[in-house]
Amino acid sequence: MKLAALPRADWFGPLAIVILASIVITAFDPSFLSPFNIQILLLAASVNVVVAMSQMIIIAIGQMNLAIGAIGGFAAITFAGLMQVWSFPPPLAAVCALGLGAAAGLFNGALIARTGVSAFVITLASLSIFKGADLGITRAQPFYGVPASVKAFGNATMIGPIPWLALPAAVVVIGMWRLLYRQKVGRFILAVGGNSSAAELSGVSIERTTLWAHGLSGFLAALAGIMLVGRLQLGQPSIGDDWLILSFAAPVIGGAALAGGHVSVFGTLLGVVIVAMITQALVIFRIDPFFVQVVLGLLILWTVGVNRLREVRLSGGRA
Amino acid sequence: MTTPTLEVSGVYKSFPGVKALADVGLVLRPGAVHALLGENGAGKSTLIKIVTGVYQPDAGELQLEGRAVRFSGPRAAIAAGIGAVHQERNLIPRFSVGENIGLERLGGGWLKGVDYAALHADARKWLDVLELDIDTRLPVSELNVARRQLVEIAKALSLRSRVLLLDEPTASLTPQEAQVLFRVLRKLRSEGASLLLVSHKLEEVQEICDEVTVLRDGRNACANQPMAGLVRQDLVRLMIGRNEIIPSVSPRTREDAPTLLELRGVSTALGHAKIDLSVRKGEIVGLYGLVGAGRTELAKCVLGLHRITAGELLVEGEPRRIGSVAEAIHRHGIGYVSEDRKQEGLILAHSVLDNAGITVWRKLSGRLGLLRDGAVRARVGPIISELEVRTPSLAQTVGNLSGGNQQKVSVAKWLAAGVKILMVDEPTVGVDVKTKAYIHELLRRLAQDGAAILLISSDMPEMIALADRIVVMDGYRITGELANSRVYDPMSEAIMACIHRTAA
């Protein structure tokens, strides 16, 4: 890539923000870059990046998935419940929960592809179904019987300040990058998001591509739910309730086009880091953490504005 | 005779409210170029979409090399060896040229991934066939319309299909680019492929096609007739069902009337440069050009949707800056009947009253912003009956009206707003011959009553029948202005010369 083209890359702006913000925050509080603080940042970011990828794949195909939190929560209590009630070994329980997540996503995808009803409506309804099942099964009580190995996976560090949770997150990021830029399925998802009638006339099956995207989205949501069970050390039914804003914020900060057809995996990763840094900064500056939501909302509006400007310039004004 | 590659027989297709095709047939032979002709709305694109599996026929049969086939979708048609260049732009803007060309053949397994080197090498081969020097790694969004069209053709060629359908492939090409394409088509023909060419340029059809099928109002006006021996007038007669009669309106000039809309040296944010254009009171000025010439875009700039970057826009002689569509309508009396009435012109799910009244709600809403149905009715009702819109009541949903009546409603909404300047974009696309005549009559009457009309059309006979003056646009520039003599042959030649001059 030529040097002059750098500022046009999706990840350039977010990276600049990350570096600048690190310098500013460290100037106020040098402990910001301490190993302990970095570990906290990585713990939060590891789960959140999986959540963000779960939404990003749906943004790529030009739709939205409101049900990722509900799927993640349902998978989380399934994972914890199987281990507590039927004493499933953790790997088997995890496979079951991931399968459930993928199935839930395929259910959404099949309804969207077959009926042609918008993803907004379908996932709004399935959000209610999955969340209701979650609360009905648990009676809103957490499962506490999480094995020590799972708790350790969710909190222990691997090398230096890097937690074990960063491992699945890294695999997901690299896997998504490969999928979207090197794999047929990923290219088809972006093609359908970019111009679905063109993709269809080129022989791409819209139905199969939609199923893939939603199946993957459900799988990733379930993975995030399982990771959170390890981190929180219990099967909390409310897992996933606060994912929605973040799941849109990170891809959008990373340069995704909400109309579909264009997302950036590394931009989204940086988006997650930015959100984690904001959360930390508010703690350091002793601002009420509830204001995180306000800042996130403002950040979304700002980045959408910047992306829109870029879009208009890209098309030479012929938007 | 040899077995036909593709045989279409007895095909019927209806859409809600429209009978698109009735008992249509055609036969494509190996090693032949077949022309499919017809006016706009005659059913050519529908037929192509049936052959390529986009639509399923209501009745009738497709036979591929003697065997009956039924395509469940475009994938099935491609798999059976039918390739097509569709009329709509069908590329994925953010993808590279190479990936667009090879999209249906992206290989790669789970471990290997897509082989981009091979993909680009293959794409290069097909671009070379078309003598196109484009970097295959460039995103399609950075190409101009003509190059995108050529990329689509390369994409279709890369399928190496036995049957290749081309729907207006030359619509935005220069004559040189078209000649290269024809060389390629002749080569394919000599290799035994079956080609179907849809075009409104009769010269090129006569140049390259061996057989011709003409559709008129969704029916065969002729099927599989050899091109040899047919002259231009024969084709036209088949297409419109009569000789080209230019209605008895004699040429007229309006030089004494005041100029209502004038552009002086206008450049726009969309890329128009040095546009000079004026429309007088009571005058119909035609704006002719090929697809992608920038005519619709110019109208949208006048409406204030896009910025005018240089030059002057004058309304009734006064220089104006129009910042929004609302301003264009309410302050300056400029209306625009969209080419795409389904997407941009009408709200199909709403009633006739709501559609026709939408432009006057602002004026009619009383204190507190309340809007009384009665007031809108009083304003809109007479116009709807004046235009003879055939609707059971004003409460009827617009989506249930026929195409022609929908078009009248979209004109009605501007009349209700009391516009003095009306820009009409492709007003008769997709309407039947009779309605077309009505709409022509309506536009003439509006001009008679003092409106200034800018008519945007790619329909040459329509242009010559309606316009007082014809302005030709190509590549976002004005390339000529002609007084309309209303004699078809010399006029159409003069108009095409204006386009080809810049291309050459």
Question: SS3 string of B66-104?
Answer: CEEECCCCHHHHHHCCEEEECCCCCCCCCCEHHHHHCHH
**Statement: residue A30 has pLDDT above 90:** no
Distance in angstroms (rounded) separating the CA atoms of residues A66 and B314: 50
DSSP A186: H
What is the CB neighbour count within 10 angstroms for residue A121? 13
**Statement: residue B127 has pLDDT above 60:** yes
| Shortest distance, CA A59 to any CA of chain B (angstroms) | 15
**Between helices A206-232 and A90-115, what is the axis angle to 10°?**
150
**CB–CB of A195 and B99 under 8 A?**
no
Containing A60, the helix (H) or strand (E) segment is helix A35-60
| Shortest distance, CA B107 to any CA of chain A (angstroms) | 7
Going through B246-371 in order, the beta strands assigned E by DSSP cover 259-268, 275-280, 284-288, 308-315, 318-320, 334-337
Of residues A75, A143, A77, the one with CA closest to residue A104: A75
CA distances from B65 to B53, B81, B103, B210 (A): 17, 11, 27, 19
**Statement: residue B16 has pLDDT above 90:** no
**Between helices A265-284 and A166-182, what is the axis angle to 10°?**
150
User: Residue A194 belongs to what domain range?
Assistant: 35-154+162-305
Distance in angstroms (rounded) separating the CA atoms of residues B251 and B467: 9
* β-strand pairing of B6-15 with B59-64: antiparallel
**Statement: residue B243 has pLDDT above 70:** no
User: Cβ of B378 under 8 Å from any chain A Cβ?
Assistant: no
Distance in angstroms (rounded) separating the CA atoms of residues A58 and A64: 6
**Statement: residue A316 has pLDDT above 60:** no
Per-residue exposure over B222-246, b if at least 16 CB sit within 10 Å of its own CB, e if not: bbbbebeebeeeebbbbbbeeebeb
Mean pLDDT score of chain B, rounded to an integer? 84
**CB–CB of A315 and B89 under 8 A?**
no
Return residues 75-134 of B near A (CB < 8 Å): 75, 78-79, 84, 86, 88-95, 99, 103-104, 106-108, 110, 113-114
Place of tokens 């230096």: A160
Look up residue B10 and give its amino acid.
G
**Statement: residue A317 has pLDDT above 90:** no
Share of chain B above pLDDT 90, in %: 25
Can you read off the two tokens belonging to residue B315? 């309304």
Structure confidence by residue, pLDDT tens digits, B128-186: 988 888 999 999 988 877 788 889 889 988 988 889 999 888 877 777 788 888 998 99
Q: Which residues of A touch B309 (CB under 8 A)?
A: none
Sheet holding B259-268, edge to edge: B275-280, B259-268, B308-315, B318-320
With respect to residue A29, please indicate whether it lies within any of the assigned structural domains.
Answer: no
Look up residue A317 and give its amino acid.
G
Bridge partners (DSSP) of residue B305 are none
Of residues B200, B90, B105, B196, the one with CA closest to residue B152: B90
Taking the CA atoms of B203, B207, B208 and B211 in sequence, report the sign of the dihedral they define. Answer: positive
Distance in angstroms (rounded) separating the CA atoms of residues B443 and B446: 5
B244 versus B418: the higher-pLDDT residue is: B418
Domain B257-333+419-504 has CATH 3.40.50.300: yes
CB pairs under 8 A between A and B: 81
**CB–CB of B106 and A188 under 8 A?**
yes
Look up residue A287 and give its amino acid.
I
Place of tokens 């190496």: B160
**CB–CB of B271 and A318 under 8 A?**
yes
Concatenated DSSP letters of B14-26: EETTEEEEEEEEE
Three-state secondary structure call for residue B349? coil
Can you read off the two tokens belonging to residue A186? 């990923």
* Residue in B closest to A184 by C-alpha: B106
Containing A220, the helix (H) or strand (E) segment is helix A206-232
pLDDT for the residue numbered B399 = 77
| Shortest distance, CA B328 to any CA of chain A (angstroms) | 20
Residues of chain B with CATH 3.40.50.300: 6-240, 257-333+419-504
Bridge partners (DSSP) of residue B422 are B335, B453
Q: Are B113 and A183 in contact (CB under 8 A)?
A: yes
With respect to residue A10, please indicate whether it lies within any of the assigned structural domains.
Answer: no
Q: Which residues of B touch A191 (CB under 8 A)?
A: 92, 95, 103
Distance in angstroms (rounded) separating the CA atoms of residues A166 and A158: 9
Distance in angstroms (rounded) separating the CA atoms of residues A273 and A173: 13
Could you tell me the fold of the domain covering B6-240? Answer: Rossmann fold (3.40.50)
Q: What is the mean pLDDT of residues B78-91?
A: 85
With respect to residue A4, please indicate whether it lies within any of the assigned structural domains.
Answer: no
With respect to residue A18, please indicate whether it lies within any of the assigned structural domains.
Answer: no
Question: Which residues have a Cβ under 8 Å from the Cβ of B176 and sit 6 or more positions away?
Answer: B503, B504
**Statement: residue A177 has pLDDT above 90:** yes
Can you read off the two tokens belonging to residue A300? 């979304």
pLDDT level of residue A174 (50, 70, 90 thresholds): very high
Return residues 133-192 of B near A (CB < 8 Å): 141, 155
Q: Which residues of A touch B49 (CB under 8 A)?
A: none
pLDDT level of residue A319 (50, 70, 90 thresholds): very low
pLDDT for the residue numbered B251 = 64
Distance in angstroms (rounded) separating the CA atoms of residues B87 and B78: 17
Structure confidence by residue, pLDDT tens digits, A135-168: 999 998 999 989 999 999 998 888 888 999 999 9
Structure confidence by residue, pLDDT tens digits, A94-144: 999 999 999 999 999 999 999 989 999 999 999 999 999 999 999 989 999
Place of tokens 């990329």: B151
Q: Are A111 and A65 in contact (CB under 8 A)?
A: no
* Residue in B closest to A197 by C-alpha: B90
Distance in angstroms (rounded) separating the CA atoms of residues A23 and A196: 43
**CB–CB of A201 and B106 under 8 A?**
no
pLDDT for the residue numbered B434 = 64
Question: Which residues have a Cβ under 8 Å from the Cβ of B34 and sit 6 or more positions away?
Answer: B26, B28, B194, B195, B196, B197, B209, B210, B211, B212, B213, B224
* Residue in A closest to B268 by C-alpha: A317
DSSP B396: S
How many residues are given for chain A?
A: 319
CA distances from B184 to A49, B187, B193, B209 (A): 51, 5, 11, 13
Q: Collect all residues from A whose CB is shorter than 8 A from any CB in B.
A: 178, 182-184, 187-188, 190-191, 194-195, 197-205, 261-262, 314-318
Count how many domains chain A has.
1
Of residues A55, A52, A50, the one with CA closest to residue A66: A55
A202 vs B89, B104, B113: nearest CB? B104
Structure confidence by residue, pLDDT tens digits, A264-297: 999 999 999 998 888 888 888 888 877 877 888 8
Sheet holding B477-483, edge to edge: B334-337, B421-425, B452-457, B284-288, B469-474, B477-483
pLDDT for the residue numbered A318 = 40
Structure confidence by residue, pLDDT tens digits, B483-503: 888 887 788 778 877 876 654
**Statement: residue A209 has pLDDT above 50:** yes
Look up residue B343 and give its amino acid.
Q
**Statement: residue B430 has pLDDT above 80:** no
The mean-pLDDT minimum among A224-233, A279-288, B237-246, B381-390 falls in B237-246
With respect to residue A96, please indicate whether it lies within any of the assigned structural domains.
Answer: yes
pLDDT for the residue numbered B136 = 92
With respect to residue A26, please indicate whether it lies within any of the assigned structural domains.
Answer: no
Of residues B87, B403, B39, B77, the one with CA closest to residue B219: B39
Distance in angstroms (rounded) separating the CA atoms of residues A280 and A289: 9
Q: What is the mean pLDDT of residues B235-244?
A: 70
Q: What is the mean pLDDT of residues B29-46?
A: 85
Per-residue exposure over A211-248, b if at least 16 CB sit within 10 Å of its own CB, e if not: bbbbbbbbbbbbbbbbbbbbbbbbbbbbbbeebbebbb
CATH of the domain at A204: 1.10.3470
Q: Are B270 and A317 in contact (CB under 8 A)?
A: yes
Three-state secondary structure call for residue A171? helix
